[in-house]
Structure 1
Amino acid sequence: MNGKRLASVVVDAGGTSTSWAFNYKDSTRTVIETESFHPFNFNETFFSRNRIFLKNQVTEKVPLYFFGAGMGKMENKQILSNFLQPYFSELTILTDIQGLVLSLGMDNGAIAIMGTGSVLVEILNGTIRQQIGGLGHLLGDEGSAYYFGRLVLTAYFDGQLSDNQISELRKRIDLSQKSKEELLNMKYEVARLAADLDPELFYEYHVWNIDSFFKTHFDDKIEVDKVAFVGSYAFFQRHLISKELQSRGIRMVKFIRKPIELFCDKFAIY
């Protein structure tokens, strides 16, 4: 608590972490990162920890705008609403994709989320026409940080990495006494490899990952003339993505590393 008068709270909840933007009546803002509020984390221990966080940070009842992965299911939305209701004057809970559509104000085109996981959403006349991908790390997620790590680990177990690549990989993840299947189930550790491994040493795997995203999400599935990209993996691989877009004649709207600022510009009250 800092003594300022709170005016609103805007939240971006991803699969790895959650960004809380506390907007104050003097037009200032404080952003705090916490653990992920994805529904797969929901249990009594999780809620007990976060009750303490909310009691410390939410100094008065104000509107909350919550945009999160997994909020498309009514059951998840209701559980979260029941937890948050005591702390806020009113709740708006939408999926992260719905928040992006509203914040970007795109009438037509597509939004590609490429972070820990991946999904492509086609926008037609300002509404979501179709969603491609988003099946989870075990069934897809091409073009995500996780899928990059999966490509690298698969190459390791298939004996396709160089000695230098193996040495670098062993510095970043414990490969001992674990099967390929066990490692690939370690979603966040595998996704972390996209940030931790030397990008030049593993350049070809980033190329394959981006190529896989466009083949599985665009080819014979969608025709758009512009795309906005969201997520840390997309942001750091924007040079490869831009080359692919240029070859396809698709215009890039923008690369957004973290949507919280975008959400605040649209929804924050001061």
Structure 2
Amino acid sequence: MILIADSGSTKTAWCLVEDGRIKQQIKTKGINPFFQSEEEIQEEIGKGLIPYLPTHRMGEVHFYGAGCAFPDKLAIIHRVITSHFEVTREVEVNTDMLAAARSLCGHLPGIACILGTGSNSCHYDGRDIVENVSPLGFILGDEGSGAVLGRVLVGNILKNQLPTEMKNEFLNQYGLSASEIIDKVYRHPFPNRFLASLSPFLAQHIDVPEIRRLVLESFKDFLKRNVMQYDYNQYPVHFTGSVAFYYQDILRQATQETEIELGNISQSPMEGLVKYHQTVRNN
């Protein structure tokens, strides 16, 4: 059996594969060693995943996650996995960016992008990531992500840049006051998750010109500040993630206005990852 994990800041999708077929899928909370301790990750996997699996004996475990870009963070995930599973062949821990590239491009070169709670991008040569513009997180970067869309939305609402009736509707819908929003952003853990949880308000009002423009400009910022640093004229640009999937009509507009060739758009990289690892095993 092969266990594949695709972990973002908000949730982790686990897929158990047997003989090339998906046997079981489980979702747990997001796992990010950059923000969570080894003990917290141990607890999440121990309580949220292990009790629901039919076996702890795996041929391979492939964990792709946000925050898995540094050796010490990779080591944390590797230790947690090997403490919970008996793995006979391989334990691989790598970035969620490589998961997106393998899922979207397979064994062909291209530019792969993530637009979810956070955002990221890379130039992939069909095997490895050869260029990566640092996403820098939702404060300094993460253009086009759910967290940044939520951040800009909240900023515009609290600074009265949107109609008063829309501001009141937002605060009533989420049951929040201005002081509560500020407290959640500056004092509570995982402010990126909180901000991303507010971004669906944009989808509900996407026909409002100010809202559509907000999303469009954020996507164009992502393309200009990230994708255009690669040799983007030579390759299709693919996207995965909930934001890319649910706002794909605006994403298409953004790529057209920046003269970028749009490739595949998927909601999740998991289906492509299953295909990728099956072809690797067969070769």
The interval holding the TM-score normalised by the smaller chain is: 0.7 to 0.9
Q: 2:198 aligns with which of 193, 205, 214?
A: 193
* 1:231 Cα deviation from its structure 2 partner: 0.8
Change (3 A) 1:43 1:162: same
CA deviation vs aligned residue, 1:215-238 (integer Å, no higher than 9, x gap): 32245x233131001111011111
* 1:74-85 equivalent positions in 2, closer than 5 A: 74-85=71-82
- 1:30-77 alpha-carbon deviations (Å, 9 max, x no partner): 211101111122342441342243254151411211111121211111
How far residue 25 of structure 1 moved from its aligned partner, in angstroms, is 5.0
Amino acid of the residue matched to residue 231 of structure 2? Answer: E
Q: 1:246 aligns with which of 256, 259, 264?
A: 256
- Which amino acid in the other structure matches residue 101 of structure 1? A
3-state SS, counterpart of residue 68 of structure 2: coil
- Name the structure where helix makes up a greater proportion of residues: 2
1:59 is paired with a residue of what secondary structure?
A: coil
Aligned to 1:209: 218
Amino acid in the other structure paired with 1:72 = A
Do 2:113 and 2:238's aligned partners in 1 also have CA atoms closer than 8 Å?
yes
Q: Does 1:118 align with 2:137?
A: no
State how far apart, in whole Å, the 1-side matches of 2:4 and 2:253 are: 34
Match in the other structure for 2:168: 167
- Whole-angstrom distance in 2 between the partners of 1:13 and 1:260: 10
Matched position secondary structure for 2:138: coil
**Aligned mates of 2:217, 2:162 — CA distance in 1:** 15
Classify 1:223/1:24 alpha carbon distance in 2 versus 1 (closer, same or farther; 3 Å). closer
Distance 2:107 2:219 in 1: 24
Are the aligned partners of 1:150 and 1:184 in contact in 2 as well (CA < 8 Å)? no
For the structure 1 residues 124 and 91, does the alpha-carbon distance in structure 2 shift closer, same or farther, using more than 3 Å as the test?
Answer: closer
Q: Residue type matched to 2:45 in 1?
A: N
Q: 1:7-46 to 2 correspondence within 5 Å?
A: 7-25=1-19, 27-39=21-33, 40-46=35-41
The residue matched to 2:140 in structure 1 has which SS?
Answer: coil
**Could you tell me whether the CA contact under 8 Å between 1:117 and 1:136 is conserved in 2?**
yes
What is the alpha-carbon distance in structure 1 between the residues aligned to residue 185 and residue 96 of structure 2? 28
**Cα shift readout 1:112-170 (whole Å, capped 9, x = no counterpart):** 11111111212346532321241011111111111111111111232211023202321
SS in 2 for 1:37: coil
Q: Which residue of 2 aligns with 1:258?
A: 268
Question: Residue 106 of structure 2 corresponds to which residue in structure 1?
Answer: 105
Structure 2 gap segments, 5+ residues each: none
TM-score by length of 1: 0.86
Percent sequence identity is 21
Match of 2:70 among 70, 73, 79: 73
**Contact 2:184–2:194, Cα closer than 8 Å, also in 1:** no
198-207 vs 135-144, which moves further? 198-207
The separation in 1 between residues aligned to 2:214 and 2:37, in whole angstroms, is 34
CA, structure 1 residues 44+253, in 2 after alignment: closer, same or farther (shift >3 Å)? same
Instruction: Give the secondary structure class of the aligned counterpart of 1:214.
Output: helix
Give the RMSD, CA atoms, in angstroms. 2.5
Uncovered stretches (5+) of structure 1, i.e. residues with no partner: 1-6
Q: Give the secondary structure class of the aligned counterpart of 1:41.
A: coil
Task: Give the superposition deviation at 1:243.
Answer: 1.9
What SS does the corresponding residue of 2:13 show, helix, strand or coil? strand
